[in-house]
A and B are shown apart, each in its own frame.
Chain A
Amino acid sequence: MDDSKFWPQGVKRCKPGMFIAWLLLPLALGGWATLSAFLCLYKGLNQTNMNDYFAFGVWIVVDLAIIALGAGAFFTGYLTYVLRRHELKNIINAAVIIGFICYSGAILMLGIDIGQPARGWFGFWHANVHSMLTEVMFCITTYAIVLIVEFVPLILENRQISKVPDLAIFAHHLHRIMIVFAATGTFLSFFHQGSLGGMFGVLYARPFAFRTGYMIWPWTFFLFILSAIASGPSFTTLIVMWTEKMSGRQLTSHSVKMLMGKISGFLLIFYMVLKTADTAYWANVTLPNMGLTMGDLYKQGPYGEWLLWVELGLCGWLPAIMLMFQKVRETYGLLALAMILNCSGAVFNRFVFTIQSLAIPVLPFENFASYLPSWQEWGISAGVIAYGLLLFSLAYRYLPVFPQEAELNK
């Protein structure tokens, strides 16, 4: 079996047998996810360990995390097409694919989370315009359409598909007006990233999450946008670096990765300044006004203050400062380390807002609530990773994702 006629022009790929062997990993994870999904849809959400305390569990943590990390697509698209940073064209295709995987994966996961996906359209038909989640739902689904439109030209550029003149011309014209889709995607992404944070910030009855803000938007609205655009470009670059290690081929020049690191670094510094100020104001003004101290919220269960130091220090300020130094960006390993810490910080942030907020008791007669996901919940979460591995592997093998690859590997 020879599939080389489908590979992008001028590049090499591993033998089909090796590729199929690699695909066994995502297929195995996909099998676990399929079984878990079947049980959740057939028997109901009693297959999970969610309860009246934890209406949000690991699925929402993963959802929020991958939507933040997938922000590399819209922000890199904005920089490439709207601000005309042409050097980013060497990584924009990867950013779009990763964004598509993250958003479509999140939507698939939410399909299980809502229990009855056949009724998913209710939210559009009976829209509660005062709900942050309605705004999130509208923007995520609309942005997923934008990502499909951005992904289609890349599929049409496959060496065999592009031989069909109609499709090649259509791909050309989609590329020509990509700025329209990139700008629409930026608008939609800003609002749903923000509303995901706003959703927590308006929870007045949960002092751990509640924040003051500007007009109708709590500070978490702006902080979630900033953390997403700071971590998204890092995540895209990390996936590219990981693909380079797996394939043994250089896919983009190091200057492109350094630029992505610089963008991430500046945005992360800006985010950390505001996040630190927000945390200080919350601890010293917001909580005392509610009759609480910060210590009250960290004294029970495993979620001590150490989690705050990990999120803000180890995975916040440290990568922000590292990415500011050109020497760090020039060194492959250090750049990857800073980006891993940056992405971990975004994941920690989504975890504490989702799980820690719900675990802390808010009424005098309540106790600290604990939650561990069931194997079915882990299965669905693993399914998103499997889906990502499968789609990115196929895209890398058959689509011209990296314009510099042929030149860099001569």
Chain B
Amino acid sequence: MLPIVFEWHWDIGHFVFMGLFYAALTVIGLGLVVAFRSTMKDLNSGKDPHDLGHH
């Protein structure tokens, strides 16, 4: 048992299934952290939103 997966079993099914699930969540979470950090950095350095260009 793992604290975040109640019925954890040490088998390939759980490794693949839960591994991919948490990998996807980690990528999304890290993406958001990068966006937050870059925003804070730009705000602290006094950058104007208009200088950043348009998408």
Contact = CB atoms under 8 A, between A and B. Distances in A.
A184 B18 contact: no
Interface in A124-171: 125-127, 129-130, 134-135, 138, 142, 145-146, 149, 162, 165-166, 168-170
A142 B24 contact: yes
A166 B43 CA distance: 7
A142 B26 CA distance: 11
A188 B38 contact: no
B21 A177 contact: no
Nearest to B55: A175
Interface in B9-55: 13-14, 16-18, 21, 24-25, 27-28, 31-32, 34-36, 38-39, 42-43, 47-49, 52-53, 55
Contacts, number: 71
B33 to A, nearest CB: 10
Mostly helix, strand, loop or mixed at chain A's interface? helix
Contact of A129 (B14, B24, B35, B38): B14
B46 to A, nearest CB: 10
A169 B24 contact: no
A162 B49 CA distance: 9
Contacts of A126: 6-7
A172 B17 contact: no
Q: Which of A145, A173, A181, A188 has the most CB of B within 10 A?
A: A173
Contacts of A199: none
A127 B5 CA distance: 8
Interface of B: 5-7, 13-14, 16-18, 21, 24-25, 27-28, 31-32, 34-36, 38-39, 42-43, 47-49, 52-53, 55
Interface of A: 125-127, 129-130, 134-135, 138, 142, 145-146, 149, 162, 165-166, 168-170, 172-177, 180-181, 184, 187-188
26 contacts: A125-B7, A126-B6, A127-B5, A127-B7, A129-B16, A134-B17, A135-B17, A142-B21, A142-B24, A145-B25, A145-B28, A165-B43, A165-B49, A168-B49, A169-B43, A169-B49, A170-B35, A172-B49, A172-B52, A173-B39, A173-B42, A175-B55, A177-B31, A180-B31, A184-B24, A184-B31
